[in-house]
Amino acid sequence: MCIAKTKLFRTIITLAICLVAGGSGAAFRPETIRVALIKGAESLRLDGTGVLLTDGRGEPLRLDMPLEVKRVKDGITVNGRSVPGLVASAPVRVAVNGRGYRGLLEITAADKGLLVVNELPLEEYLIGLINCEISSAWPMEAVKSQAVIARSYAMFQKSARRGAPYQLESSVMDQVYQGCDLEDSRAARGVQETAGEVLVFDQKVIQAFYHSNCAGHTESSKNVWGMSIAYLGGVPCQYCLE
């Protein structure tokens, strides 16, 4: 998902107000989220300072950085060494193909290529997401609204995809996320000042879809997916016409 219009923050605020029909934002214990970063690559480069490595079964690996990870016929090789999998973490960040990520990186052999999953605290994920979906230079209430909406969407998907290898894609298939390199103080503030807040309906976290521009009227879920969702009915939106 990607919000592109500079005036859309008012639409986001309206959405946040309208959808909390079943109660106010609820607070949650610290959550983690699993995000698919790469699917199907034949190779990738891993780098960082103070990186801790295990082989996917918990056994420590001592290898010199950077690492060249490849999908081979029988699984994975790291710098030419065959391993069942790879888990990497660092005090600050681990870079995959030059892009930095917080938390853990898990690399496994999928049916086609490599699967890279980033597991990290939900609130840290959101800080990295803000500038992928909007600009943190927008008014702070817009940044905070984006944080609440994105948190709600992530929490819904985490519940819906419980037991899956990951809960979110890092693309417009779910929410755009490019790691920690786009973090800044305003994105962090927007997330921190709404910590744990989500949108709920009938005391359940909603599936908080959002968009770039509705052209003056949002679409009904019935027309899009063939099912009626009470909080996703079509409504007029004057802001997208400005």
What are 86-134's pLDDT values in tens digits?
999 999 999 999 999 999 999 999 999 999 999 999 999 999 999 999 9
Taking the whole predicted model, whether its pTM rises above 0.75 is answered as yes
- Looking at residue 13, its pLDDT comes to 39
Mean pLDDT for 199-217 is: 89
- pLDDT tier, 35 (very low <50, low <70, confident <90, very high otherwise): very high
3-state secondary structure of 160: helix
3-state secondary structure of 78: strand
Domain ranges of the chain: 9-32+121-241, 43-112
Mean residue pLDDT across the chain: 88
Mean pLDDT for 69-78 is: 95
Rounded-to-integer distance, Cα 15 and Cα 120, Å: 27
**Does residue 2 register a pLDDT over 50?**
no
Nearest CA-CA partner of 126 in 178, 80, 171: 178
φ and ψ of 5, to 5 deg = -90, 135
Please name every residue paired with 169 in a beta bridge, in sequence order, or none if there are none: 36
Contact 28, 199 (CB under 8 A): no
Amino acid identity, position 94 = V
Bridge-based pairing of strands 99-101 and 94-96 is: antiparallel
Give the residue, 54 or 16, on which the prediction is more confident. 54
Angle at 129 between CA 8 and CA 221, to 5 degrees: 55
3-state secondary structure of 185: helix
Tokens coding 193: 């000042």
Mean pLDDT for 193-203 is: 96
3-state secondary structure of 47: strand
Q: Tens digits of per-residue pLDDT, 15-29?
A: 443 444 334 444 445
Nearest CA-CA partner of 207 in 158, 164, 162: 158
**Does residue 229 register a pLDDT over 70?**
yes
Mean pLDDT for 162-167 is: 96
- Looking at residue 29, its pLDDT comes to 59
Tokens coding 119: 């597991």
Mean pLDDT for 156-180 is: 97
State percent of the chain over pLDDT 70: 88
**Does residue 12 register a pLDDT over 60?**
no
Residue 239 per-residue DSSP state:
G
**Does residue 3 register a pLDDT over 50?**
no
Mean pLDDT for 48-64 is: 94
- Looking at residue 1, its pLDDT comes to 57
DSSP string for 50-72:
S-EEE-SSS-EE--PSSEEEEEE
Q: Which residues of 1-10 are buried (b: 16+ CB within 10 A; e: fewer)?
A: bebebeebbb
